Chains A and B, each alone.
Chain A
Amino acid sequence: MIKHWWKALGVVLVLYTIIFGFLGEVPRQPILNETIRNTYFHVTMWFGMIILMVASLVYSIKYLRTEESRSDLKAKELAISGFFLASLGLVTGSIWARFTWGAFWVNDAKLNGTAVTILIYLAYFVLRGSVDDPQKKARIAAVYNIFAFVMMFVFIGILPRMTDSLHPGNGGNPAFGAYDMDNKMRMVFYPAVVGWTLIAVWITDIKIRFHRLQKNNNEKYS
């Protein structure tokens, strides 16, 4: 039970997010209105995705240093979970944009950046699928993953900040400044990021263990 503490923590934090995300006080802002609460559910997807992609990058580098196949498996599954969170972030953001910015997709530096990022990671999975030799596959994938991470950093971390963007924190807009998030919101937002990330890591953990069992099973009977 003790080794499962982080799963329980994730569950408690997300429950806290659901309860206080709806009942807590939020700043009153025109256009945004109550949708500012999406911060706890949409923005956290992206934060979680970036955390998982960093973890994936770490395991890719670890693979290149040690050539252990378990690091490659971890890097792959973390990237898949990160991709999953990114997809949820894209869909939820699109709906949010429809009702605040007026369209499902607006020509915003950050939106286009995330679209490119998603394509880059899609190419990572295609690349993995196209190499048969497991060692070669792992090595090429690890190198590509480093490239993908750098590109992600450029497309969603740097470029949107250099141009005008509708997102806060870009083009001179303050990121989570006094106008966007007050301290009451931060009390929910940061636990929400940790909670959602832990849930995503849990799902990733289940998938990694499944693949390990599957691999052992195949070795046994082949």
Chain B
Amino acid sequence: MKNTVKLFTTLSLLLMAIWSSAQSRMPEVEMADALRENGKIYVVVIVLCIVFAGIIGYLVIIDRKLSKLEKQRKK
């Protein structure tokens, strides 16, 4: 199990190195075009949106609890 993980990481790191070296040979300024072309950048955007929505949801809950306390105090 451990060896497979090791092998996998080594292979993927190697692949990444080859990929990046292949990229740096291109004369144009590199941008993450490929990421957007095959649409995977959207995954990151969705993840970020969910994380942000979660944080905001938490803030809303805290805000509501505070409002409740403030109302109780007024009575």
Which residues of A are interface residues toward B (Cβ below 8 A)?
7, 11, 14-15, 18-19, 22-23, 28-30, 33-34, 199, 202-203, 206, 209-210, 213, 216
Chain A residues with CB below 8 A from B49, complex form: 15, 18-19
Known: A18-B48, A18-B52, A23-B36. A33 touches B70 (CB 8 A): no
Contact between A33 and B45 (Cβ–Cβ < 8 Å)?
no
Chain A residues with CB below 8 A from B73, complex form: 213, 216
Chain A residues with CB below 8 A from B59, complex form: 202-203, 206
Contact between A210 and B66 (Cβ–Cβ < 8 Å)?
yes
Interface residues of B in 54-73 (CB under 8 A from A): 56, 59, 62-63, 66, 69-70, 73
Number of A-B contacts (CB under 8 A): 46
Chain B residues with CB below 8 A from A210, complex form: 66
Give CA–CA (A216, B74) in the complex, Å. 11
Chief secondary structure at chain B's binding surface: helix
Contact between B69 and A213 (Cβ–Cβ < 8 Å)?
yes
Q: Does B5 contact A (CB under 8 A)?
A: no
Contact between B70 and A213 (Cβ–Cβ < 8 Å)?
yes
Chain B residues with CB below 8 A from A203, complex form: 59
Contact between B29 and A33 (Cβ–Cβ < 8 Å)?
yes
Give CA–CA (A213, B49) in the complex, Å. 32
14 A-B contacts (beta carbon < 8 Å): A14-B52, A15-B52, A15-B53, A18-B45, A23-B42, A29-B29, A33-B29, A33-B30, A202-B63, A206-B62, A206-B63, A209-B66, A210-B66, A213-B69
Chain B residues with CB below 8 A from A18, complex form: 45, 48-49, 52
Q: Does B18 contact A (CB under 8 A)?
A: no
